[in-house]
Amino acid sequence: MSDYDIRSKIGLRIKELRAERGVSQEEFANLIGMSRSYFGEVETGKRNVAAVNLEKIAKGLGVSLAEFFDSEFFGE
């Protein structure tokens, strides 16, 4: 996993958690009040995500930021 940059790792983690909950990008973006295009770019690692938006995403996924980063995606 170390070959991925931080944006990609964050995106993969978001996608993993969102898929576990069985919601589409569009459904989830609407649920948390974020544009689908912005959310899609964050999830695909094409856009940097602001800390406040990362917190909003984590809350929408039902995890704390600590739980969000407790993943093989962020291990060395």
pLDDT band at 4 (very low <50, low <70, confident <90, very high): confident
Asked if pLDDT for residue 1 goes beyond 60, the answer is no
pLDDT band at 3 (very low <50, low <70, confident <90, very high): low
Please, how many CA atoms are within 13 Å of residue 19, restricted to the half-sphere of its CB?
Answer: 7
Between 76 and 19, name the one with better pLDDT.
19
Domains of the chain, each with CATH number or no CATH? 6-69 (1.10.260.40)
Kindly state the average pLDDT of the residues 34-62.
97
Cα–Cα distance, 17 to 15 (Å, whole number):
6
| pLDDT score for 24 | 97
Please report the sign of the dihedral spanned by the C-alpha atoms of residue 45, residue 10, residue 48, residue 40.
positive
Kindly state the average pLDDT of the residues 9-21.
97
